[in-house]
Chain A
Amino acid sequence: MTRIRRIGDAMAVLLLAAYAVPFFWQLLTSFKPDALLLRLPPLVPTQLTTVHYQAVWEKSVIPRALGNSLAVAGLTTLLALLLGLTAAYALARLPVPGTGALLLGVVAGTAFPQIAIVSPLYLLIRALGLRDTWSALVLANTSFALPLVIWLLTGFIRDIPEELEEAASLDGAGRRQILRWIVVPLVAPGLASVGLLTFLTSWNEFLFAYTFTASESSRTVPVALALFPGVFEVPWGDIAAASILASLPPVLIVVGLGRFLVRGLLAGALRE
Chain B
Amino acid sequence: MTRRERADRRTGLLFLAPALLMLGCVTVYPALWVFWLSLQHRIPIFGIVRFAGLDHYAFLAFDPRFLNAARVTLVFTAVSVGLELVLGLLAALLLRRQSAGRQAALSLLLLPWALPSVVTAKLFEWLYHPSAGLVNFLLGGRRLNWLGDPHLALLSVILADVWRTMPFVALLCYARLLSISPDIYEAAQVDGAGALATFGRITLPLLRPVLLIALLFRTLDALRAFDIMFVLTGGGPANTTENFTVYAYRSLFQTLQLGLGSAIGVVVFAVVMVVACGYLTALRREGVAR
Q: Do A and B come from one complex?
A: yes
Interface 9-mer from A46-54, A55-63, A187-195, A253-261: A253-261
Dominant SS among interface residues on chain A: helix
A226-B213 Cα distance, complex, nearest whole Å: 32
Interface 9-mer from B56-64, B91-99, B142-150, B189-197: B91-99
Contact count band on B: 35 or more
A9, CB-defined interface residue at 8 Å: yes
Instruction: For B217, list chain A residues within 8 Å (CB).
Output: 269
- What 1/0 flags go to B263-277 for Cβ under 8 Å of A? 011101100110010
A114-B117 Cα distance, complex, nearest whole Å: 15
Instruction: For A266, list chain B residues within 8 Å (CB).
Output: 171-172, 175
CB distance from A254 to the nearest CB of B (A): 5
Interface centre among B22, B25, B168 (most CB of A within 10 A): B22
Interface pair B27/A112, CB less than 8 Å apart: yes
CB distance from A7 to the nearest CB of B (A): 11
Instruction: Report how many A-B pairs have Cβ atoms within 8 Å.
Output: 273
Interface pair B175/A270, CB less than 8 Å apart: yes
A146-B21 Cα distance, complex, nearest whole Å: 11
A198, CB-defined interface residue at 8 Å: no
Interface pair B111/A246, CB less than 8 Å apart: no
Given contacts A16-B105, A40-B137, A113-B269, contact A22 B124 (CB under 8 A): yes
Given A17, A39, A175, A225, which contacts B118 in the complex, CB threshold below 8 Å? A225
Given A17, A102, A124, which contacts B108 in the complex, CB threshold below 8 Å? A17
For A, the interface residue count at a CB cutoff of 8 angstroms equals 94
CB distance from A183 to the nearest CB of B (A): 11
- What 1/0 flags go to A137-175 for Cβ under 8 Å of B? 001101110110010000000000000000000000011
Interface pair B126/A29, CB less than 8 Å apart: yes
CB distance from B190 to the nearest CB of A (A): 20
CB distance from B270 to the nearest CB of A (A): 9
- In the complex formed, the residue of A with least CB distance to B228 is A206
A221-B122 Cα distance, complex, nearest whole Å: 13
Interface pair B112/A20, CB less than 8 Å apart: yes
B152, CB-defined interface residue at 8 Å: no
A182, CB-defined interface residue at 8 Å: no
Interface pair B12/A270, CB less than 8 Å apart: no
Interface pair A115/B245, CB less than 8 Å apart: yes
Interface pair B18/A87, CB less than 8 Å apart: yes
- What 1/0 flags go to B100-127 for Cβ under 8 Å of A? 1101111111111011111111111011
Interface pair A258/B33, CB less than 8 Å apart: no
Given B23, B29, B127, which contacts A146 in the complex, CB threshold below 8 Å? B23
A75, CB-defined interface residue at 8 Å: no
A223-B121 Cα distance, complex, nearest whole Å: 12
Instruction: For A211, list chain B residues within 8 Å (CB).
Output: 253
B155, CB-defined interface residue at 8 Å: no
Interface pair A22/B123, CB less than 8 Å apart: yes
Given B16, B101, B137, which contacts A96 in the complex, CB threshold below 8 Å? B16
Interface pair A117/B110, CB less than 8 Å apart: no
Interface pair B258/A119, CB less than 8 Å apart: yes
- What 1/0 flags go to A1-42 for Cβ under 8 Å of B? 000011011101101110111110110010000000111110
Given A116, A203, A265, which contacts B265 in the complex, CB threshold below 8 Å? A116
Given contacts A26-B123, A116-B265, A239-B126, contact A206 B34 (CB under 8 A): no
A184, CB-defined interface residue at 8 Å: no
Interface pair A144/B27, CB less than 8 Å apart: yes
- In the complex formed, the residue of B with least CB distance to A91 is B16
Other A-B pairs beyond A9-B100, A26-B122, A121-B30, 12, CB < 8 Å: A20-B112, A40-B134, A87-B15, A94-B11, A114-B226, A119-B37, A120-B31, A139-B26, A150-B19, A222-B119, A250-B116, A270-B175
Query: Which positions in A face B, CB cutoff 8 Å?
Result: 5-6, 8-10, 12-13, 15-17, 19-23, 25-26, 29, 37-41, 43, 82-84, 86-87, 89-91, 94-97, 102, 108-109, 111-124, 139-140, 142-144, 146-147, 150, 174-176, 200, 203-204, 206-207, 211, 221-223, 225-226, 236, 239-240, 243, 246-247, 250-251, 253-255, 258, 261-262, 265-266, 269-270, 272
Query: Which positions in B face A, CB cutoff 8 Å?
Result: 5, 8-9, 11-13, 15-16, 18-20, 22-23, 25-27, 29-31, 33-34, 37, 91, 94-95, 97-101, 103-112, 114-124, 126-127, 129, 131-134, 137, 163, 168, 171-172, 175-176, 210, 213-214, 217, 220, 223-224, 226-227, 230-231, 244-245, 248-249, 252-253, 258, 261-262, 264-266, 268-269, 272-273, 276, 288-290
CB pairs A–B below 8 angstroms (22 shown): A9-B101, A15-B94, A22-B112, A22-B124, A26-B122, A109-B27, A115-B249, A115-B264, A121-B26, A139-B22, A143-B23, A147-B23, A175-B15, A176-B11, A204-B115, A207-B249, A221-B116, A222-B118, A236-B126, A254-B107, A261-B114, A269-B213
